[in-house]
Every structure is written in C-alpha cells, then in structure tokens.
Amino acid sequence: MTASGPEQWAAVDERLAVFAREDAVLAAARTSTEVSSPGIQVSRQMGRMLHILALASGARRVLEFGTLAGYSTIWLARAVGPSGRVVSIELDRANAAVARGHLEDAGVSAWVDIHCGPAAEVSGRMVAAGVEPFDLVFIDADKQNLPTYVERALELTRPGALIVIDNVVRGGRVLDPGDDPQVQGVVRALAALQGDDRVQVSITQTVGEKGWDGFAVIRKVAP
C-alpha cells in the first residue's frame, strides 16, 4: 500500500464494515434514494459510534437535528430502546415521510418522534416549552445554522450530556471557508465553542467512504 486517497479510504471502510454490521432495514435507510440528498447519511462507522456513545453514556433521551432517511436515527433509537425517546427534527416533509417508513420497518417508531420544520424554530419552541432535558444530541442538519443548533443543544441538555456534531472539517475547508455559508457556519460554531467553559470539546478528523471530514464529541460540563 503506497498511495492514499479516497479510493483506499473507501476500501478500508468496506473492510471495517464488519464492525458496524447492518440489518436490511439499516442498509435500506443508508442507501435510500428517495430523499432530497441521497448519500449524505453518516457512514456505517459513524452510525455504530453513535450507537456505542448512546449505550455507553446510558442515554435515555436523544435529540437529533437532521433526519434525512432515518439512518442515524435508527442507530440511536436501537441504543436507547423502547424505554427511551428519540426526537429528530427534519425540515423536508418528504424526507420525514421516508424516514418514518424506515423507522416503522426497524420496529423503533413507538419511541421516535420526527418533528417537521426548520430546526432553529422547532428547537426554539422546545426551549420555550421547557421540555425534559436530553442526554445526547446529534447535530447533522444544515451547517449555516450550526451556531444556533449548538446553543439550543446546550439549552436542551442536562450537565454531563454529550453533543456530537457531524461534518466539522469539510475536506479541510474549515481553515479557509471563503464565501461558503455552510463552512462559515461551522467556523462560527467552533469559534463559539472555543471560548465556552460550559463544554469539553474533542474533534476528530476522518477519512473514509464519505471523503475527508470530521466530527466533534462534546461534553456539557456546567449548566
């Protein structure tokens, strides 16, 4: 093995997929083409990691920003089980309908709610309503509004909660976002986290079947 590039990264993910084994329902949710942006689901390894983080932290209540076809939602829902709750926010009604089908097929729909609407508004209403705090939040919707979503996640969680953010490296473009509003959103969110003593932040770069990106795992320390 000499060269390294996207093909090798993807080949290694294929080899490692035995550690993130999917049943037919998970595979269908990951490869669904009926949604607005097919292929942007988390990788199998990332799905498995979310599952393990939820299990290891004993999460009962999980909040997700960005449902798409319900792939990450199913991993999280299977971790919390029927005595838990997953709330997932999705802007696109058609995506939400596709996701509900997969959640039904996965047998988890009894403890998963998909809230349809812009995540900033839906999560703002949850803050105003004083909903029971969440134990784990996965942020994976549009990136322009990432600073708002991080703030909402901090408002909607208990101390000790985990907040995971997808797509925080974007092929290295976080170093120079230019005029891309998505990457600018990521840069602003990271800048806010940097000065925030309510949180402990780890950021891991990744290469794999989805190219070069990264994720943040954040622990909310103080209220």
Binding site for ligand SAH (CB under 6 A): 36-37, 40-42, 66-68, 71-72, 89-92, 95, 118-119, 140-142, 145
How many residues form the binding site for Mg ion (CB under 5 A)?
A: 3
Contacts of 220 (CB under 8 A, 6+ apart): 154, 157, 158, 159, 160, 161, 162, 163, 198, 199
Instruction: Give the CB-side neighbour count of residue 153, counting CA atoms within 13 A.
Output: 34
Q: Which is nearer to ligand DHB, 30 or 220 (CB)?
A: 30
Residue of the chain from 157, 167, 184, 206 that contacts ligand DHB (CB under 6 A): 167
Reduce the DSSP state of residue 73 to 3 states and report it: helix
Which among 128, 198, 194, 112 has a CA at the least distance from the CA of 161?
198
In the shown chain, the binding pattern of residues 136 to 155 toward ligand DHB, with x for contact by CB under 6 A and - for none, equals ----x---------------
Q: Which is nearer to Mg ion, 22 or 166 (CB)?
A: 166
Q: What's the alpha-carbon Rg for the chain, to the nearest Å?
A: 17
Spatial distance between the Cα atoms of 11 and 210, rounded to a whole number of angstroms: 11
Q: Nearest distance from residue 68's CB to ligand SAH, in Å? A: 4
Question: Using CB under 5 A, which residues numbered 145 to 174 contact Mg ion?
Answer: 166-167
Q: Which is nearer to ligand SAH, 200 or 204 (CB)?
A: 204
Q: What are phi and psi of 128, to 5 degrees?
A: -60, -35
Q: Is 179 exposed, middle or buried (0-12, 13-18, 19+ CB in 10 A)?
A: exposed
User: Does residue 184 bind ligand DHB (CB under 6 A)?
Assistant: no
Spatial distance between the Cα atoms of 12 and 18, rounded to a whole number of angstroms: 11
Q: Which is nearer to ligand DHB, 84 or 95 (CB)?
A: 95
Which among 109, 139, 126, 83 has a CA at the least distance from the CA of 29?
109
Question: Using CB under 5 A, which residues numbered 123 to 142 contact Mg ion?
Answer: 140
Residue 45 interacting partner from ligand SAH, Mg ion, ligand DHB, none (CB closer than 5 to 8 Å by kind): none
Q: Which is nearer to ligand DHB, 45 or 84 (CB)?
A: 45
Residue of the chain from 13, 22, 64, 166 that contacts ligand DHB (CB under 6 A): 166
**Positions in the binding site for ligand DHB (CB under 6 A):** 40, 140, 166-167
